[in-house]
Amino acid sequence: MSFIRYKLFGKKEYAYEIHAYWDKEKQKPYQTSKYLGVVIDKQKKIFGKPIRKKPENLILDFGDTYLLQHFLEESKLGSLFSVFETQKDTLLALLNYRICHGSAMRFAQSWFEGNYTRILYKQASISSQRISDFFEYLSDENLQRKFFSEYIPSFCNPKQGIIIDGTSLQNQIHMPLTAWGRSGEEIDKQIRFLLIVDKESTRPLFFRTLPGNILDVSTIRNTIDELKRYGVNESFAYLDAGFFSEDNIRELYEQNIQFLTRLPSMRVIYKQLIADELQDIESISHAVRYGKRGLFVKQKKIDLFGKEAWAHIVLDPERKGRETKKFLIDVVDEKEQHDDQEMGYTLKTRGIMILVSSFSISKKEVVPMYYVRQTAETLFGFSKDDLNILPLRVHNEARLRGFLFLQFISLITFVMLKKKIGTEYTVEEIMLTMRNLKCKVYDNDLVPQEMTKQQKNIMELFGILMPKSLGI
């Protein structure tokens, strides 16, 4: 089946002959397109190809930005950015820079001058000083509230729970947010970046920035209150062990929010469960399958700060073997220097994880449910590795908050791109491949150059037709 599709680029309309067919081998519908030319007479279907009279003015990187522009339009993300009003072009230019290039912000102007964004977003101002001013603009609380009021109802509607997790962003910036805090085994100057994720869509839902010396356990109530302002009255939360405290647990019960979290090993209740429940845990009655792994899960109803809860003692035999081996290698030659009772307790806890929930969960479901929390860890990885959030190079609190807001918007875009792509490509691979597609710029229009086979495959994956020329 063939038909003509019209596309408007700039001030000109272009015609394409579309041929739809069914691929019997792949069992999928496909389309091929043939460029017919500029529309001269639409009713009579008269098309013509422009005659090039003047040499090109310059050559720009084109394919990556062109693809991202179409993705933002198709995903409706682009409609969100109207909240930035006169600064919309600057926001979109920097968003393209974070996704397509992701280097230090001081190089953004050089990238902009050689990229199609300079034509797409003519009102963008991204010199170093203007970027600093823009970050201060982004830090405005009213602007951020306006954005989240548009974003959360339109793109996230949490029904299956939210994931709450935090990470440390080490820096040496002199400002109130930067404080000494613990990150794993290290103590460093840092700020805390709290990320809330919609479990169902795996999209970032909300974020908060906190001083580095504020523990995660003190953030739940304010986070819940802020989310309620945006209509998120969530009834289920996945939490890391850092959020476990009596105040937080009581708050979750009072707010009627069900939860699943890991029990910290230093808690008295953890030590009691280790002492009372491990004798028969390696019984076939407690065995469950988790993917290609076999686990033992023993469950017990407990009193948790005066509330009914369930403890799930999980033993991973493979992990127990690795941890036991390492422990013995580390201490066996110096066992006389250690307390036997303490060493015996440590050996007991090898391979053990204890989860606590406010409701009953089947043995087969509890571990998969908890590891949903890894979604937040993955997103932190994207921010640090793919979007280069570190090192932080801003030098006052307002600019830092603005930079992290831009980073959050970039993370939303990155996650949605990754979901669209699937497993065939990575976001980085697509952007690098499409960046090699250049365009020649003339006085009134620009002409994309010929695409490689891989570039054509990527454009087909996104359902994008590449025009022969575009108006400026």
The set of residues, in sequence order, having a beta carbon less than 8 Å from that of 246 and lying 6+ positions away, is: 305
Using one digit for the tens of pLDDT, what is the confidence trace for 317-365?
999 999 999 988 888 777 666 677 888 898 999 999 999 999 999 999 9
Query: Is 386 a domain residue?
Result: no
Domain that holds residue 107: 50-138+401-471
Within this chain, do residues 354 and 413 fall inside the same structural domain, yes or no? no
Amino acid symbol at 108? A
In a domain, 98, yes or no: yes
Q: Kindly state whether residues 274 and 354 are assigned to the same domain.
A: yes
Determine contact, residues 444/472, Cβ cutoff 8 Å. yes
Length of the chain, please? 472
> Does 268 share its domain with 336?
yes
Per the structure, how many domains does the chain have? 2
For each of the chain's 472 residues, which pLDDT tens digit applies?
A: 788 888 887 778 888 888 888 777 777 787 888 888 888 888 888 887 655 555 567 999 999 999 999 999 999 888 899 999 999 999 999 999 999 987 888 899 999 999 999 999 999 999 988 999 999 999 999 999 999 999 998 888 777 788 888 887 766 566 666 665 555 555 567 788 888 998 888 889 999 988 877 766 778 888 888 988 888 887 788 888 888 999 999 989 988 889 999 999 999 999 999 999 999 999 999 999 988 889 999 999 999 999 999 999 999 999 999 999 998 888 877 766 667 788 889 899 999 999 999 999 999 999 988 888 777 777 777 777 767 676 666 668 888 899 889 999 999 999 999 999 988 899 999 999 999 999 999 988 899 999 999 999 999 999 999 988 998 8
How many whole angstroms separate alpha carbon 247 and alpha carbon 224? Answer: 14
Same domain, 57 and 121: yes
User: Would you state the pLDDT for residue 86?
Assistant: 95
Same-domain pairing of 64 and 132: yes
* C-alpha triplet 401, 406, 409: angle, nearest 5°: 125
- Cα–Cα distance measured from residue 86 to residue 238, given in angstroms and rounded to the nearest whole number: 39
Same domain, yes or no, for 356 and 417?
no
Q: Which tokens go with 470?
A: 């575009």
Q: What's the pTM value of the predicted model, to 2 decimals? A: 0.77
Using one digit for the tens of pLDDT, what is the confidence trace for 190-206? 788 888 998 888 889 99
340-348 and 268-277 are packed helices; what angle lies between their axes, rounded to 10 degrees? Answer: 80
**In this structure, is residue 233 part of a structural domain?**
no
Distance (Å, whole) CA 31 – CA 409: 33
355 & 408 share domain: no
Q: How far apart are CA 226 and CA 149, in angstroms?
A: 11
The CA-CA-CA angle for residues 323, 324, 328, to 5°, reads 120
Please check whether residues 351 and 406 belong to one and the same domain.
no
- How far is the C-alpha of 341 from the C-alpha of 326, rounded, in Å? 19
Which helix H or strand E contains 141, and what residues bound it?
helix 141-155
Asked if the structure places residue 452 within a domain, the reply is: yes
Residue 183, judged by CB atoms within 10 A of its CB (0-12, 13-18, 19+), counts as middle
Check residue 36 and give its pLDDT: 85
pLDDT score recorded for residue 128: 85
Whether residue 281 sits in one domain with residue 357: yes
Q: How far is CA 195 from the centre of its chain?
A: 9
Q: Are 348 and 407 in a shared domain?
A: no
The verdict on residue 17 lying in a domain is no
- Note the pLDDT of residue 343: 85
In a domain, 9, yes or no: no
- 261 Cβ contact partners less than 8 Å away, ≥ 6 residues apart: 238, 239, 240, 241, 243, 244, 355, 356, 357
Beta strands in 92-242 (DSSP E): 162-170, 179-183, 186-198, 204-211, 236-239
The answer to the question of residue 19 being in a domain is no
Is 128 among the domain residues? yes
Contacts of 406 (CB under 8 A, 6+ apart): 91, 94, 95, 98, 135, 138
